[in-house]
Chain A
């Protein structure tokens, strides 16, 4: 299967367990951690690219859920508000994954949600607040 991008949300108390170790060791999944953060309340958010055999992938996700971790597909996380975007291009210089790019020669800004790694750089850099975080 092709790699899937997911967002994991850890409750306080889960964030300090070696979850990723088990995901690799027991389910033979290829893990690429795109972003990981623990807030002051000790809740964690992790953005993963996950790849493996479909059956093992399914079992891996079941294991994560059994640990009290909620799973969301990544594309739900950052959205573009089309009404606010003026197609300037300020976001394209800070987007690390090429998800936001200029289409030439029209010079319109395109957003490829599949490439988004939810780093939130565009959310900060957009002068018009057109990039929104959805929870």
Chain B
């Protein structure tokens, strides 16, 4: 008979200290050893983890009112501009925002030493942050400017809110052009001199529940070292399963919007990043528990690096010109070995996301659940699964002349 479990049964086991939790990496070997049926019967939860740069991240704040009151229409945190088009003292800062006086790429490649991601990291590290805000003045809010120093503990609310995180899968970047390119996937040498990738493969949350059978709106997760929740499908969410010509399948396109109280997060798991010639960003630690309700869920949670494929895309010309047709498909096992073969040529590989840190996240989450402090949540609503989201549209340019 097929094994079936409910989430409340698993939560009861968490409360009684009898839950069996393993990481997604351990799931690979346990299923190989014991078979799906036995592993499903024995294991209650599989934890995943990823630690990669996720540009669609940011945080919003309520700074508290000044006396007399100011309606902030523009704000800067450590000179990095935020967005204040909300009520008087609410503002958002994006991970890739930069100071107004950053030299950018004027001397190429630019360094982008400090941006929104670094502000978020410094806030979480409880460092003092300079706040400048200006307003135009009105009867309710007569004041026009403030220059002060804040810490995260001074704020009424500080909330991490990332519109697109945890990309299900990601391109392996190569450069077919004859000059070095500086990308968000690192420095790419000409003539396919190297190949960089940025997914934790067999530990990656959305690759371990590709049909989103357990991950949905309201799912409680590890976010930035603290607790977070899945708020919605991420921007550009469009999960797909494409059979590959030489066997295997490509699963990609799923994304999540996540949210959590920034005040309980940790600077080790939200780190500002500077990509040479590209810009600033935020590296986010994110882990999702997958309740093993049946054999099908276990089947996907136990998929190995040998079975998970990633597309190889040219960032020298194809990607920037908007036609990123994959040149080849490789497995994460090949990528992690340190070299892949494309068109008969050996190309050295390097990861841009930290598998080591991803594994630590899966392990921390496992401990939280085993210790009884982290119960699993039933999704409030489902997210569009493979083939259910409308295809992504390009931006149409209309000639107004």
Contact = CB atoms under 8 A, between A and B. Distances in A.
Interface of A: 86-90, 92-94, 102, 104-108, 121, 124-125, 127-129
A45 B12 CA distance: 67
B222 to A, nearest CB: 16
Given A125-B186, A127-B283, A107 B348 contact: no
Contact of B271 (A90, A93, A105, A128): A128
A90 B355 contact: no
A107 B352 contact: no
Interface string B180-202: 00000011010000101000000
Interface in B320-377: 336-338, 348-357, 359
**Which of B272, B275, B276, B353 has the most CB atoms of chain A within a 10 A radius of its CB?**
B276
Contacts of A121: 187
A117 to B, nearest CB: 17
A127 B196 contact: no
B76 interface: no
Contacts of B273: 127-128
Contact-residue bracket for chain B: 20 to 34
Nearest to B355: A107
A95 B273 CA distance: 19
7 contacts: A86-B357, A88-B283, A89-B352, A94-B187, A102-B351, A127-B275, A128-B283
Given A87-B357, A127-B275, 13 more contacts: A86-B283, A88-B51, A88-B351, A88-B352, A89-B350, A90-B350, A102-B351, A105-B336, A124-B111, A124-B276, A127-B274, A127-B283, A128-B274
B219 interface: no
A59 to B, nearest CB: 41
A86 B186 contact: no
Contacts of B53: 127
A106 B336 CA distance: 10
Contacts of A94: 186-187, 189, 194
Contacts of B187: 93-94, 121, 124-125
Contacts of B275: 127
Contacts of A92: 350
A102 B336 CA distance: 9
B356 A106 contact: yes
A102 B274 contact: no
Interface in B246-273: 271-273
Contact of A93 (B272, B336, B350): B350
**10 tightest Cβ-Cβ pairs between the two chains A and B:** A93-B350, A127-B273, A107-B355, A89-B351, A87-B356, A88-B354, A93-B194, A92-B350, A90-B186, A89-B350
A87 B354 contact: yes
Given A125-B186, A125-B187, A89 B276 contact: no
A125 B276 contact: yes
Nearest to A107: B355
Nearest to B274: A127
Nearest to B198: A88
A104 B196 contact: no
B356 A107 contact: yes
**Which of B51, B189, B351 has the most CB atoms of chain A within a 10 A radius of its CB?**
B351
B338 A86 contact: no
Interface string B278-297: 00010100000000000000
Contacts of A107: 336, 351, 354-356, 359
B195 to A, nearest CB: 8
Contacts of A104: 336-338
Contacts of B353: 88
B302 to A, nearest CB: 18
